[in-house]
Structure formats: C-alpha cells, structure tokens
Structure 1
Amino acid sequence: MRRFFTAPFTDALFGLDRCMARGVSSLALVSLGLLLGWWLYVPVHELLHAAGCMLAGGTVTRLEISPIYLGGALASWIPWVEAGGEYAGRLSGFDTRGSDAVYLLTDFAPFLLTLFPGVWLLRCAARAGRPLAFGLSLPLAFAPFTSITGDAYEIGSILITRLKPWSDPGRREILRGDDLFQKVSEVSGGSLWLGLVLASMLGLLWAYSTYALGDGLARTLGHPPVPHPKYSPEE
C-alpha cells in the first residue's frame, strides 16, 4: 500500500538523480524536454478527450485550444476546434447523450498515455540516464496529478453525484465540472461541501490508481520502479 502512494514520487526523484550526471547541462535538457513535452501534450490531451467522447457514442461541437498550443493550426484542419479560450485547452462543447459512461470515457481517454507509454517511458529514460527523454516523459506519466483540480476532480464528481444526496439534478449540476476552484466558489451548504470534498478525494485516488495501472504495465514490460541512484540500474 505504501508503494501505491510513493511510487510516482520516487520514480520522479530517483529518475531525476539518475539523469543528472552532467550537472547543469543535464538539468537544462530535462527542463527542455519537460517544456517540449508539455507543449506537445496539451493539444494531444484535448484531442483525445474529443476522440474518447465520439468513440464512446457522444458528439463534439467545440474544442478550445490556445494558439500557443497549436490551436490556430488545428482549427484550420478540424471544424470543431477553435483557437482561444480561458484555458490551455478545454472540451467546451460536447454531448454525452445523458450517459455517465460516455462522460467518464471522455474524461479518461487522454490518460491512456499515462498507462502507456508514460510510466514505461519515464522508467526507460531514467534507467538509461537520458535527461531529454526523461523530461519529455513527465507530462505523460504525471498527467493524472497535474489534472487534480480538473479532469481528476470531474471524474470524482461524476461518481459522487451518482449517490444520494448528490444525485438530484440541482446538486449534480453544481458539483460536476472540470474546474475545482470554480466549483468552490459556487458551493454552499453542508451537503454540497461534503460532496465536493468527497469528489476531490475520489479524484486523487483515481490519479494514484491510474499511475498504478501504468506501473503494472511497465513492470510487465520489464521496467519496475526506478531504484535509488546508489544502486545500479540492474538492481
């Protein structure tokens, strides 16, 4: 159980240590990889939300992606993509046809990249001491945790609003969403606050569980958790 909660952070910290053989230049390569990985991951993440929705049986009418993350180029190719919006990217127009299963699949689709190649790539890069590849892997491997106040909360809110007393339409409308901070400003009343806290906790548990699934797949492919730097990569 302890490893369930610590594996993401030991992978990151021990992996960074293993990639720092050249000091400042290695750190610069990790940082470059992280920035490049994030820039590429954001539009892919949003497109996978849309793909997940459509493959699950829903429809997509509007996907906002910031011009910084290729929103302009994508908008010229895909009719329902628009450059701009308040967020780096957001699926703001979609219809799940009232199905929570479609809603959950829409939310979860981008995190398939955490299952593979995310965690596996992070461990490969760490063991090989490749700082650029390690940086590139971080947005994929840690996407569930960077989405704690967004998609992770939304997944938790979908699940919690299937239970009483949060399943009535009014409470469901208030609690469901992909922006935890916005929901905090909208919530009032003890039962709604409890629902919000429980949804947040479920989202956090989902994030750890998603990483754990990636961990299991990486192990199957021959890459267990990154060991402490004092041990050789083979140990």
Structure 2
Amino acid sequence: MKKIYSSFEEAVSEIQDGMTLMVGGFGLVGIPENLIIALRDRNVKDLTVISNNCGVDDWGLGLLLKNKQIKKMLSSYVGENKEFERQVLSGELEVELVPQGSLAEKIRAGGAGIPAFYTPAGVGTPIAEGRETREFNGKEYLLEEALTADVSLIRAWKADKMGNVVYRKTAQNFNPIMAAAGKVTICEVEELVEIGDLKPEEIHTPSIYVQGLIVGKQEKRIERLTVKS
C-alpha cells in the first residue's frame, strides 16, 4: 500500500523552497492540475522546474510562474506564455532550452541511472557552444547529462492502491519517465482501484516508482480552442 493523501495540500506539504521538480504533461495535456494549484497555494519559492513547457498564462505551471515561484525553467518549448516571455526578457527567470528529444532522453536516463549520453541533436548550434562533443563513425555527437529531481509531480488515469499506474492516450507523454526520475514521485489520478484490478500488461508505471497517490477531478482545459466561424 502506498501513501494515499487525503488532500492536495497534504500531498505537496513536504516540497520546500529551492527544490528541483519534474512536472508531467505536454501543453495542458496530462498535467497534474490540482497538485500545481496546491503548490501555488503553498507559495514555495526559488523552484527549478523541469517540464516540456510552462503552461499558459492562467493555467498549469503558468500559475506558479505568475506567482514568482519558479527561479529556473528547463523546457523544450516556451511559446504560449506571455508572462514567461516578460520574465525572461527582464532577467527574472533563468531558462535552459533543451531539444525535445534530448529532454526526454535526459529524464529517461536519469530514471535509469545512466549519468550521461551522446546525441547528434544540438551539434553545430548555440546549444553546443562550450560543451563536450565526440565523433563516432565519422559523425559528431554532443554530450548530454541526465536529469533527476527531488520530487516528480505526475498525472495518470488510474492507479491501484499499491501504486501501479495507467495513463490514458496522449496524457502518457512525459509522465512515465518523470515518475522514474524523481527521488519522490506523487501521482494525481482520476480513479483509484483495488490491488489486482489492473491487468499486469496494462500497467505503464510500476509501483516501485511511486511514493504517493492523490485522487482528484481535472478540468482538462483545451490549450487552444478552434471552432468554425
């Protein structure tokens, strides 16, 4: 049995100022909506956040950004957030941009205990300036170091009380690899089932990677709604 929190406030109660967090999701899909809101209300500061992007101005990680809780952001895409742009240009926010495939592999490697790897992504671009490269079979590769986090906040569809997790469709995105790369992983789920209710072959993240569970209803906002005129 894993720790099953009674509130989102309790679930984030041990996150402290200055910690490094991984936050699952891609755009607004698969983000741990309620954990992010609870973290905003907790008002912890100077966070380093590793996530594909920083949400939008009024939702997702954009809530933490607006509240000046994020000191540094490691992302692959930052184009939908005006407050993000403002803080970067004013020097309030430190940003490290990473090619999306490299970001995913850095996180996966961290969860697998692999300290670094070589990739062709970024070679010959400003990303590679001042960094180690090496040639393999006549092609140049860039050394990328793995990423881990003090806490990973992830989102799933179902989990059993042992902490085995199932994601739904594209909400799977970064969540499984972040679950493995966090020293502590807290999973926000839509449905909690009994041990044995999940078939072994449908489990995406085994319970060994999950330390806490919290059940909640998500709004599932659409990032950019387009309708016919």
TM-score scaled by structure 2?
A: 0.26
Structure whose alpha-carbon radius of gyration is higher: 1
Structure that is richer in strand per residue: 2
TM-score scaled by structure 1?
A: 0.26
Structure that is richer in helix per residue: 1
